[in-house]
Amino acid sequence: MNLNSKLSRLLLAITLSIGLTSGAWALPEDARQPIYVDADKAEIDKSTGVTIYKGNVIINQGSMKILADQVTIFNQEKKVSRIVAKGNKGQAQYQQKPNAEKDLVIAKADTIEYLVGKETLHLLDNAYLLQDGATVKGHRIDYDVRASMATATGQGDKGETANSRIQVVIPAKQLNREEK
């Protein structure tokens, strides 16, 4: 592992740990709220438990919002198990307020997969995550909503080229520097 790769991983760890608490859950009332879906078209297949919404899809549940060109919702045992949001004209977007004291967490990618039971987001292709003013960009970001933890990777197995790297921005106010 070269120095740049080690530095990138260190910066990512710092970014994700600064200002985050292990109790940074989504607003507790979000899970108890109804889900509202606004779309141009819906295809519902009760036999497979799959519903596909197409055309400027907007899904709201409490502080959670998903925006995409197409959203597929998978149901298992009459419960939503997985949501896959895809962007065609633009990126799919997920946002949610972790708690009353925190700003919105915003995630964007060409494809977003949300595993409801695990409260995990997989941001695939052109992934972007904003939390507490810090940003992470990469090919893929896996984000644990409950623990406020993320893992970012570059373009896969293409080696240490410019395209395989992640980008992290840590706001100056989070660096805990003493003012002189």
Two structure tokens written together for 155: 């373009």
pLDDT at 115: 93
| Integer Cα distance of 4 and 160 in angstroms | 9
Q: What is the mean pLDDT of the chain?
A: 80
Rounded to the nearest 10°, the torsion over CA 64, 68, 72, 77 is 0
Residue 177 has pLDDT above 80, yes or no: no
Averaged over 60-66, what is the pLDDT? 91
pLDDT of 10-46, one tens digit each? 344 433 333 333 333 357 677 788 889 999 999 999 9
Q: What angle do CA 162, 136, 123 make, to 5 degrees?
A: 95
**For the chain, which residues make up each domain, given as ranges?**
3-171
CATH architecture for segment(s) 3-171:
Sandwich (2.60)
pLDDT of 94-151, one tens digit each? 998 877 788 889 999 999 999 988 989 999 999 999 998 899 999 999 999 888 889 9
